[in-house]
Structure 1
Amino acid sequence: MERSEVFERLNQVFCEVFDDDAITVTEETTAADVAGWDSLMHITLIAEVEEEFDMKFPMKSVVGMKNVGDMVDVILEADE
């Protein structure tokens, strides 16, 4: 899977989870950049991303993610 495809699919998940079609995620996007992205929404987001990509994030990966680029890295590693 290409990095650009992961971003396209992630962007759709973010728009659905946060009910905001104007969201466009980038490598540097963090919780501070998305209205409503708090700890509870983070859990929802992780669950929806796991469902979209048919994978499970290791807990150490979830804790270590600093931005969406890190999330993409973990998704691509799981796809290998």
Structure 2
Amino acid sequence: MRLADVVADVFEVDPADVVDEATPATLENWTSLRHIQLVVALEAAYGVSFSSQEIRGFKSVGDVRRALADKGTGVDEEALA
């Protein structure tokens, strides 16, 4: 599953709206609860685990992409939309 699809599913938005610059301020449904749901969905989809420090650092979709790329998921090679 692509990152855009995971994010779009959790936040109930169109995958085309999922860009690296998207933040809680620009995605209306990005609440604290959905933030945790996103982490759980990402961990399941990519087979990784995030530390609490990493989770607190997710301030944008770009931050999420970089964290996943750092874990060798190949997410940095896929197009968002």
Scaled to the shorter chain, the TM-score interval is 0.7 to 0.9
Ranges in structure 1 where 5+ consecutive residues have no aligned partner: 1-7
* TM-score after normalising by structure 2: 0.76
Q: Report SS of the residue matched to 2:6.
A: helix
TM superposition shift of 1:24 = 2.3
CA displacement 1:4-28 (0-9 Å, x = unmatched)? xxxx711111222123335522121
Q: 1:78 aligns with which of 51, 55, 71?
A: 71
Deviates more, 1:27-36 or 1:47-56: 27-36
Residue of structure 1 in register with 2:10 after alignment? 17
1: distance between equivalents of 2:23 and 2:14? Answer: 17
Say which structure is richer in helix: 1
Corresponding residue for residue 26 of structure 1: 19
Contact 1:50 1:57 in 2 (8 A): yes
Aligned length: 73
The alignment yields a C-alpha RMSD, in angstroms, of 1.9
Structure 1 outlier segments of 4+, above 2 Å: 18-24
Asked if structure 2 preserves the Cα contact closer than 8 Å seen for 1:14 and 1:23, the reply is: no
Relative to the length of structure 1, the TM-score reads 0.76
Q: Which residue of 1 aligns with 2:42?
A: 49
| Letter matched to residue 27 of structure 1 | D
Question: Aligned in 2, Cα 1:56/1:25: closer, same or farther, shift over 3 Å?
Answer: same
Query: Which residue of 9, 13, 31 maps to 1:38?
Result: 31
With over 3 angstroms needed to count, the CA separation of the structure-2 counterparts of 1:15 and 1:27, relative to structure 1, is closer
State the identity as a percent.
Answer: 32
For the residue of structure 2 that corresponds to 1:79, the secondary structure is: coil
